Structure 1
Amino acid sequence: MPNKNINFENVPESITKPKHYHKGGIDVIGFLQEHFPERKYTISEGFFIGNAIKYICRYKEKNGIEDLEKAADYVQRLMELEKGSESIAENS
């Protein structure tokens, strides 16, 4: 669901639609909004998932291995969060 309070009318497309996030007609932000709806994921989960996908999608056009390392870091953080959640559920 797009934020209706922000007016992007006068913002250049280089800011709102960078080429490294728009490939083959697929928009990373739109993908995330559709596949990771509000209230299904915690803020932390959404942040880790979104950043991992973002870095994977852009690594060839931007920072190569560095972006893949960043994606791996966010996946690791998500896994640690999930393991912590499982541990809490098991001890309840």
Structure 2
Amino acid sequence: MSEDIINKPSHYHKNEIDVNGYLEKHFPTEGSYTVSEGFYIGNVIKYTSRYKNKNGLEDLEKARFNLNKLIELESKDK
């Protein structure tokens, strides 16, 4: 059986984590997070959960970039 790279890529489901399901559950249409906060948080989760099986250090650097953007947003609110 071949992998469904569009609807269920294996790198999004490692270690029993469904990244898309997590995002849908924690960042619904209405909630306490802004869309941009949800975007950055989701990307941090995405890149850290797949780095070993996809792009290695590059994905960790992408995660750091997104975390830094989230920190910038949070710092502006203070």
1:1-92 equivalent positions in 2, closer than 5 A: 13-39=4-30, 40-86=32-78
SS of equivalent residue, structure 1 residue 14: coil
Instruction: Report the CA distance between 1:32 and its aligned residue.
Output: 1.8
The structure that is strand-richer by fraction is 1
Residue ranges of structure 1 left out of the alignment (5+ in a row): 1-11, 87-92
The alpha-carbon deviation at position 44 of structure 1 amounts to 0.6
Normalised to the residue count of structure 1, the TM-score between the two structures is 0.73
Shift of 1:23: 2.0
Deviation at 1:21, TM superposition (A): 0.5
Matches of 1:57 and 1:38 in 2, distance apart? 24
TM-score by length of 2: 0.85
Q: What is the RMSD computed on CA atoms of the aligned residues?
A: 1.5
Identical counterparts, % of pairs: 57
Aligned residues between the structures: 75
Note the residue ranges of structure 2 that are not aligned, 5 or more in a row: none
Q: Which of the pair has the greater relative contact order for Cα pairs under 8 Å at 6+ separation? A: 2
Q: Who wins on radius of gyration, i.e. which is larger?
A: 1
